[in-house]
Amino acid sequence: MQWVEAAPAKINLFLHVGPVEADGYHPLSSLVAFADVGDMLILDPDGPPGLSVVGPFADALIRDPAGQAGNLVLRALAGLGAATGLETSSLSLTLDKRLPVAAGVGGGSADAGAALRLARRYLAPDLEDPVLVQVASGLGADGLMCLASTPAWAEGKGEVLTPEPRLPTLHAVLVNPGVPSPTGAVYGAYDRLGVGGADRPAGPASWDAEAVIGWLAAQRNDLEAPALLNTPAIGTALDAVRAEGQARLVRMSGSGATVFGLYDDAAAAARAADALEGTHPDWWVRQAPLVGGSDA
């Protein structure tokens, strides 16, 4: 019997970023949610040791060392083995790479989080959370949030998390124009522009979807402007989602190049996804609910 673990896409509903600090990192404030779409990690108890990569974005990951998804999976498992003595190097894993690479949706970190959850389920079901947290904390700014894969406020460098169970399910369409947006280059452009601040806003007056979307409209993604300088196709994607006409909010996630629209209901999101697929058949377009805190 194969063991399967989902690696859902991470969406930054807003992303406030401060100036670079002495350690080379940028402070941030974000509210993150996770989509009902993502990569899949499969463990075969009878397969040979190692990690293979398949799926529509496997070639992009293999060609792009900056993608790091495969490496992050292996790093996560090596870290878990070092911390616990578990024989993680003997696992036979297949990564079904369904998310675009360098796309602002935490794909590599999501895969690493899935690897940690799957290894615990298979090798040590009683292993306590702090061990996984320790390993995930060494896997980059998205490591801890993607280990949990539930709605949360993220602060510090992304490692200070506060769960947000009040976030409702939001109806979204994710759009990627088929170009990578390397995180380092986006932050470099951000530093040259010198904009933004890592302020955490007060939450919405209420946590129904209508109020949350209205509140999000007053927030921002501070990496959007620098990402557009590097990758104009992101602007084309943002304009296309706006032009379709049904989105209540349109924004870039993370450092791009994926953008998203939020909609009144699933039917509106489905219509928008169909329309965008029709006008841009070469883009990656997915209707994907962002799972609320009570449903996570």
Q: Are 119 and 85 in contact (CB under 8 A)?
A: no
* 269 or 67, greater pLDDT: 269
Number of domains in the chain: 2
**110 among the known binding-site residues?**
yes
**105 among the known binding-site residues?**
yes
Q: Is residue 278 part of a domain?
A: yes
> How confident is residue 141, by pLDDT bands cut at 50, 70 and 90?
confident
CATH code: domain of residue 223 = 3.30.70.890
pLDDT the model gives residue 67 = 46
What's the pLDDT tens digit per position in 58-93? 988 776 554 445 589 999 999 999 999 999 999 999
Instruction: Please determine, for residue 156, whether its predicted confidence score (pLDDT) is greater than 70.
Output: yes
Whether 142 is catalytic: yes
Q: How far apart are the first and last CA of the chain?
A: 26
Q: Is residue 199 part of a domain?
A: yes
Same domain membership, residue 198 and residue 156: no
**103 among the known binding-site residues?**
yes
**109 among the known binding-site residues?**
yes
Residue ending a domain, among 135, 163, 191, is 163
Q: Is residue 296 part of a domain?
A: no
CA distance 291 to 269: 14
Average pLDDT of the residues of the chain: 95
Residue ending a domain, among 129, 163, 197, is 163
- 262: which strand partners? 172, 249
Q: Is residue 248 part of a domain?
A: yes
**107 among the known binding-site residues?**
yes
Q: Are 12 and 222 in contact (CB under 8 A)?
A: no
Instruction: Please determine, for residue 159, whether its predicted confidence score (pLDDT) is greater than 50.
Output: yes
What's the pLDDT tens digit per position in 195-248? 789 999 999 999 999 999 999 999 999 999 999 999 999 999 999 999 999 999
From the list 10, 39, 96, 222, the catalytic residue is 10
* 154 or 295, greater pLDDT: 154
Write out the residue range of the structural domain in which residue 212 sits. 171-291
Whether 157 is catalytic: no
From the list 97, 142, 157, 208, the catalytic residue is 142
Instruction: Please determine, for residue 22, whether its predicted confidence score (pLDDT) is greater than 50.
Output: yes
Full-model pTM: 0.95
What's the pLDDT tens digit per position in 26-55? 999 999 999 999 999 999 999 999 999 999
